[in-house]
Structure 1
Amino acid sequence: ANSDHTGWAGETTLDVEMAHAVAPDAHIVLVETGVAQNGGGTTGLPEMMDAEKSLIDRGVGDVISQSFGATENTFPGFRSGDFSSIQNLRYAFKDAARHGVTVLAASGDSGATNTTADGSGTYPYKVNAWPSSDPLVTSVGGTQLHLDDKGNRMAPESVYDDDGAGGGGPSHVFARPSYQNGVKQVVGDHRGTPDVSMAAAMNGGAWVYSSYNPKAVGWDVYVGTSEASPLFAGIVALADQVAGHRLGDIHQALYSLYAQSSRNPSTGIVDVKDGTNNSYAGVTGYTAVKGYDMATGVGTIDAARFVPALAKEG
């Protein structure tokens, strides 16, 4: 079987099943394009953006989850400070904002670094990836669950840092958006990722059923922020349902809830204060601390509280 095809089949199976697990009555539309985006390069991104814009314009979908990305450094012009190649791909996200559609993206599984253009390795220094780094996209990082064999929680969640590590850090392309002004002491002058995090680690990983490979039909454990993003998409779909309308770009609401969270547990935002994504590929990353950090963003969520809080705030 074609390795690119089976790889993407695995990604899309994970996406659909995770979103369905959280929002079982949601209508899920899987979007496929004819061009695969390989490794860490930018091939296929225009086709993906065209596909997203087409559905947005037709009124299909309230929440978009994206489990792909290309390192900002791999885009043409990056070295000379010309970011037009990324800016020119943002039309789908601008269209989503106009139509009140929420856009999410996985923050990556390579800690503070990411894949090189040829897909053969990672950069030896801090980088970030688009679309996660886009200010119009909610970046979803990863946490590790600490559960016993019965699924009972033994300890609070920590940073995803096994069999990969949650992506995060400052964008080298986008300036700090206004919704991150309250965390400017952490992100500096640039857009920081992730915004929020969900389960992504091998320890506590998700069992996913697949049948696309006739030789390997059945259940397997999947990990990564490609799990976290569709999980959060299901959460936003539930909040849309509670609100009775699309919430659109949730950044302002998310960071407003975060600003209240230290004194108001009903926001449903749960701070993650344990762990680091430092150990991936030898590139020093970020440590989870009290409050916002570029290991897990504002933290993770208690869905029973967060869903109505987001619906109200949004």
Structure 2
Amino acid sequence: MRTPTLSAAARRSVLALAGTAALAVSSLAVAMPAGATPTVYSKGGTSWVRACDTLAKGDTMACHALRVTNTVQAVHALGVTPDATPSGLGPGDLLSAYKLAANGGAGQTIAIVDAYNDPNAESDMAVYRSQYGLPACTTANGCFKKVSQTGSTTSLPANNSGWAGEISLDLDMVSAIAPNAHVILVEAKTASMANLGTAVNEAVKLGAKFVSNSYGGGESSSDTSYDTSYFNHPGVAITVSAGDSAYGAQYPAASKYVTSVGGTALRKDSSTRGWSESVWYTNSTEGTGSGCSAYDAKPAWQKDTGCAKRTISDVSAVADPATGVAVYQTYGGSGWAVYGGTSASSPIIASVYALAGTPSAGSSPASFPYAHTSSLFDVTTGSNGSCSPAYLCKAGVGFDGPTGLGTPNGTAAFKG
């Protein structure tokens, strides 16, 4: 997507924001433990690391953002570079791949739920939007709001450089797909399920009809209680990343009240669509999540017979870091970067729901794609591990675990 040339005043404003944001990098409050070395993953010449320094353990959730470490940028590291394109898929690519109209989202409010605080969230999003010629979304113009899990705009959680990458990824994906929507960033005090769940409730309380959650952890016997306390919001589309650890069920993607979102590798090709997709899989410990829940009941609209309880995923979108998306991050980052993980696919799908319109009162938006399967691109190749029955980890015609019913082909599958 070619970037429109900005006025000199606009460029000065955005570059000032970027400079202020960059200064904050030196004041990290929570970061990777001293001496810790992140695991480097690689595929096809692309290398990346997990943005969050700790994996899920017990009640603590991990974010599903993956940051590419060997990106070569054609733009200045910091700020806007008119008439140049950052590495990674941009808004034009994503809208083209999923047959979505530009400039959508007017009148809708999308919430992003994450843990900890990114002090540069607003200024970084401003640079991303300016780079791609998208409308400004700021606190001043009423488009953007950042709050704690209790709704406070001043008493925010501790800063965290890892989760800041997650936050930048989420905000940039919402900006790419639904640039005219209002955005609420709700920051949980910690990455516990209780605090993140409280943040989900706060997002709904603040009026969001679309809530994206790009985190997860192992299932537990507490999950059905969490379902009732945090995710049972009729008439609200709640999306959750399926996970980045290859085959295996995670929570809250396993919740029967959410749309669980798997991940694909998305590449341009010479087909009529112009793009092709396959299951995202790196190795036995990394790739899109999928599986059969051990605790959550199967929702009425899910008809597969190889899993007696809830099956993950419902739908999917791009997540492979090797075909990753462009992101702008200065708190814990150096400006332009490429990210992947199902942390990308969840906010993309939440934003597609927003483009489709407000869910009807009392509805279960997770059921909508099941009523409109012909309005999705069926992903039929690839797998994320070994399992039985095979469809839980291997793509095929129709429904499968790694990619669900498929990826967006316009918005029709997300209306209801």
TM-score, length basis structure 2: 0.57
- Give the AA of the match of 2:241: A
Amino acid at match of 1:218: G
Amino acid at match of 1:168: S
Higher percent of residues as helix:
1
The alignment status of 1:255 with 2:370, answered yes or no, reads: yes
- For 2:256, give the aligned amino acid: P
CA–CA distance in 2 between the matches of 1:66 and 1:285? 22
Q: What is the match of residue 79 of structure 1?
A: none
Contact 1:273–1:290 (Cα < 8 Å) also in 2: yes
Instruction: Look up the match of 1:162.
Output: 282
Displacement of 1:156: 2.3
The answer on whether the counterparts of 1:145 and 1:203 sit within 8 Å (CA) in structure 2 is no
> For residue 201 of structure 1, what is the aligned residue in structure 2?
320
Offset at residue 246 of structure 1 (A): 6.7
Structure 1 segment 1-314 matched on structure 2, within 5 A: 1=28, 2-3=31-32, 5-35=160-190, 37=191, 44-58=192-206, 60-72=207-219, 75=220, 83=221, 85-90=222-227, 91-94=229-232, 96-97=233-234, 100-113=235-248, 128-147=249-268, 156-162=276-282, 164-181=286-303, 183-184=304-305, 187-213=306-332, 216-240=333-357, 248-258=363-373, 261=374, 268-278=375-385, 286-303=393-410, 307-311=411-415, 314=416
Amino acid at match of 1:9: A
CA deviation profile, 1:165-203 (whole Å, cap 9, x unmatched) = 11001001112221112x22xx42111010000011123
Larger radius of gyration: 2
List per-residue Cα deviations over 1:275-297 (Å, max 9, x = no partner).
Answer: 11128xxxx97111111011211
SS state at 2:355 partner: helix
Aligned-pair CA distance for 1:155: 5.4
Amino acid in the other structure paired with 1:156? S
Could you say which residue in structure 1 is the equivalent of 2:130? none
Distance in 1 separating the partners of 2:315 and 2:236: 18
Moved over 4 A (4+): 152-155, 245-248
Q: 1:250 & 1:293 partners in 2: Cα distance?
A: 19
Partner of 1:117: none
Partners of 1:63 and 1:246 in 2: CA distance: 13
> For the structure 1 residues 9 and 240, does the alpha-carbon distance in structure 2 shift closer, same or farther, using more than 3 Å as the test?
same
How many pairs are equivalent?
254
CA deviations on 1:100-156 (whole Å, 9 max, x unpaired) are 11111000011113xxxxxxxxxxxxxx111000000100000111226x9x97652
The CA RMSD measured in Å over matched residues stands at 2.5
Structure 1 pair 155–233 and aligned structure 2 pair: CA distance change class (3 A): closer
Q: Any gaps of 5 or more consecutive residues in structure 2? A: 1-27, 33-52, 54-159
Report the CA distance between 1:86 and its aligned residue: 1.8
Q: Is the 8 A contact 2:240 2:261 kept in 1?
A: yes
Q: 1:251 corresponds to which letter in structure 2?
A: A
- Superposition deviation, residue 210 in structure 1: 0.8
Listed as ranges, the gaps of 5+ residues in structure 1 are 38-43, 76-82, 114-127, 262-267
